[in-house]
Amino acid sequence: MINTKHQSILVLDFGGQYNQLIARRVRECGVYCEVHSYQLSPEKIREMNPCGIIFTGGPNSVYLPDSPRVPAQLFEMGIPILGICYGIQAMCHALGGKVATAITSEYGKTQTQFDVSSPLFHGLPSSGITWMSHTDYIEKQPDGFRSVAHTDHCPVAAMECADRKLYGIQYHPEVLHTENGLQMLHNFLYLICGCTGDWTMEDYAKTAIAQIREKVGNGKVLLALSGGVDSSVAAELMSKAVGNQLTCIFVDHGLMRKNEGDEVEAAFSGSELNFVRVDAEKRFLDRLKGVEEPEQKRKIIGEEFIRVFEDEARRIGKVDYLVQGTIYPDVIESGSGDAAVIKSHHNVGGLPDYVDFKGIIEPLHLLFKDEVRKLGLELGLPDYLVWRQPFPGPGLAVRVIGEVTREKLNILRDADFIFRDEIRKAGLDREIHQYFAVLTSMRSVGVMGDGRTYDYTVALRGVTTTDFMTADFARIPYPVLETVSARIVNEVKGVNRIVYDVTTKPPATIEWE
Ligand code: XMP
């Protein structure tokens, strides 16, 4: 956790699914914030001295005996509070109001009326769509509160006690489906909490660098560099903080895209840090021989990665800290807490217990992708690295369906290169957030010249997304797809059919394996 002397907002977490998103939105508004458990003691909160507190949503019913509660003291501190979803209910309950099961639950987009005399809705239209997700509702407000928004089924969609600077919202202002939701949060931060917006990535970088320096001292630091945005930004940040005390090991597993290994090397070999590139293609391909099952492939790659890394780390000798470029979406998707494990991400959880080190540094673990990119630019990384689309740790191995061979990898690399090249030429590379080719390993009959072919089908995938947790398929114009298709079948031997993936996530995932 990065500590800061800036104005800050404390987000108290009641276990809802959008909690980190709230934090992300607050930071988008230029205000630093930290997420802590709702159990954080009032003493600790006083010590942190936040400008405001936000209670998040959560899955419980506040009137049940074991539900998370907030101590009444919190409301006496004079700190502005905004309760969202479960948060408004927790506030209502704590202050003597009544929360009950709603006669009609509301889920999804809901037409809502606002009282624009409330500072929460300052400058906004008096009606709009909000994103609701609740079965309980405020039946009776606590004394001193008034309702400042309602829907057809919910008389208190927002409430305020302006004198005490206490506010509550039943819907989710943090999700994009709520019209002007960000502005409502902005109003809370600026008009109610008095924030001035003194938080920028420049500050984050400065603070993080100072704290890393202090923590590391003269110690040695080791980082596994994949060349992806996250590990590159982490490497740059660490390098700015501790220079050549940092060694970056780039395990080239032979599962990278075309030319990628060389590009990574070119980007980092001139820096002050120690850069080691390990050519481990053979090791990985040997271990993947005959393996078809996606999870098994992922596990093997994860394990082998650790072994190769271990061999290199031994050469370096004693290391004090290990850096991980983990970011928040990886943490959720890898099944922390109660979420189901969809895919094993090899960059999370698989901590190498062989390296003798004092501790882990995860300088990006609270940041979303867009924040990591901003930080990368702030640190002076080149555009092409910062805007590099996400690439899975197991690389092209999860884009070759079934068994991975060098031949298939080469076909995929060439097809993928053409696809990326055409997307870039069409000026779509920022619009489409992730796009790549998949070698389906399915073969079909075609005709080329006058002869029959029996070759591979390549699938193209392009998605638009804000957080990679849900995604839509990109509407790539037909003429672009046409060019890509023609180029791939003409230029890449072994491919005679191209298909475009038109599934959203969910139900599909972005990667095919
Ligand atoms: P899925 O396929 O789960 O992917 O919808 C979501 C995002 O995560 C990327 N991805 C990975 N990233 N290690 C990573 O760092 C992995 O093992 C991994 N698997 C998938 C994927 O490319 C997409 O951006």
- Which residues are paired to 84 by β-bridges? 169
Backbone angles phi, psi at 75, to 5 degrees: -80, -5
What the block records as the tokens of 450 is 């006058």
* Domain covering 201-386 assigned CATH 3.30.420.40 in the classification: no
pLDDT tens-digit series, residues 487-502: 999 999 999 999 999 9
- Atom from ligand 1 closest to the CA of residue 342: 3
pTM above 0.85, yes or no: no
Confirm or reject: Cβ of 488 under 6 Å from ligand 1: no
34 lines ligand 1 (CB under 6 A): no
Q: What angle do helix axes 294-316 and 281-288 make, rounded to 10 degrees?
A: 150
Q: Which atom of ligand 1 is nearest to the CA of 394?
A: 17
Confidence of residue 337 (pLDDT cuts 50, 70, 90): very low
Give the residue carrying structure tokens 């029959």.
452
Pocket flag, ligand 1, residue 511 (CB < 6 Å)? yes
The mean of the pLDDT values for the chain is 90
| pLDDT tens digits, one per residue of 255-302 | 999 999 998 888 887 788 999 999 999 999 999 999 999 999 999 999
CA dihedral 137, 143, 145, 151 (to 10 degrees): 30
pLDDT reading at 331 higher than 70: no
Check if the beta carbon of residue 110 is closer than 8 Å to that of residue 149.
no
Q: pLDDT of 448-488, one tens digit each? A: 888 999 999 999 999 999 778 889 999 999 999 999 999 99
All structural domains of the chain with their residue ranges? 8-192, 201-386, 405-500
Using alpha carbons, select from 54, 28, 314, 330 the residue that is nearest to residue 172. 54
Cβ of 297 below 6 Å from ligand 1? no
Question: In b/e form, how buried is each residue of 105-142, taking b as 16+ CB within 10 angstroms?
Answer: ebeeebebebebebbbbeebeeebbbbbbbebbbeebb
Q: Does 172 have pLDDT greater than 50?
A: yes
Which residue out of 333, 401, 432, 464 has the highest number of ligand 1 atoms within 8 Å of its CB and is therefore the one to mutate? 333
Catalytically annotated residues: 85, 172, 174
Residue with the nearest Cα to atom 9 of ligand 1? 392
8-192 matches 201-386 in fold: yes
Q: Which CATH class is domain 8-192?
A: alpha beta
**Scanning the structure block, which residue is given the tokens 């979420």?**
339
Q: Is the pLDDT of residue 332 over 50?
A: no
347-382 per-position pLDDT tens digit = 543 445 555 678 889 999 878 788 899 999 999 888
Which residue of 347, 348, 370, 510 sits with most ligand 1 atoms within 8 Å of its CB, as the best mutation to test the pocket?
510
For residue 253, give the nearest of 288, 294, 221 by alpha carbon. 288
pLDDT at 290: 97
* CATH number for region 405-500: 3.30.300.10
